[in-house]
Amino acid sequence: MDQVNWRFIFFNPGIVSTILGLFVFLLPVRLPDLLSKGLDSVGSMTVPLSMMLIGCLLGKIQYKDLLVMIKDAHLWTATFLRLICLPVLLLPFVLFHVPHPILLIAVVVSGMPAASTVSLYAQKYGADSFYASLGVLQTSLVCIVTIPFLYMIVQLFY
């Protein structure tokens, strides 16, 4: 078995940018307007680019592949864990009197579909990017039902 390269895991662009973003958010320093507006422009491109990427991924999937997706127990297990189990783990915070909007946001956001970047990382690191695309598709389709369900569950507690 190969050794785990922890440096490779913790110093990837996603982790590094998240840590830098947290520092910028938590520090009382304000970024210059030029830099702030540039980052804001990049940030406002993420949703349209993500939708284009998901569209490209879905365009590669054929109808016969949908049957593979529907029959695959591993994809259903991952989808169930991602869209139902993870958000339900946040419900005990009702006992700690977490404000309703904060809990609602946390539960709904944790129940969002798999990010389209999963397929990109799979392709970049030599994994099965097609299978990852099926996972993105399945979680995107199933969340049409699970997000309203999670919303109703949180509303029952308040």
Which pLDDT tens digits describe the chain residue by residue (158 residues)?
A: 567 778 877 888 888 988 988 988 898 888 889 988 998 998 899 878 877 877 887 787 788 888 888 899 999 999 999 999 999 999 999 999 899 999 999 999 999 998 877 877 888 788 888 888 888 889 989 999 999 999 999 999 88
Distance, in Å, from the CA atom of 96 to the CA atom of 150, rounded to the nearest integer, reads 19
Rounded mean pLDDT of the chain? Answer: 87
Q: Is residue 1 part of a domain?
A: no
- 103 lies in which domain range? 6-156
Q: Is residue 137 part of a domain?
A: yes
Give the up-direction half-sphere exposure of residue 48: CA atoms within 13 A in the CB hemisphere. Answer: 5
Count up the domains in the chain and report the number. Answer: 1
Give percent of the chain above pLDDT 90: 39
Given this model, what pLDDT does residue 34 score? 92
Q: Is residue 12 part of a domain?
A: yes
Q: Is residue 72 part of a domain?
A: yes
Distance, in Å, from the CA atom of 19 to the CA atom of 116, rounded to the nearest integer, reads 21
CA nearest 134: which of 114, 153, 150?
114
Residue 143: how many CB atoms within 10 A of its CB?
A: 20
Q: Is residue 18 part of a domain?
A: yes
Question: Is residue 114 within 8 Å of 139, Cβ to Cβ?
Answer: yes
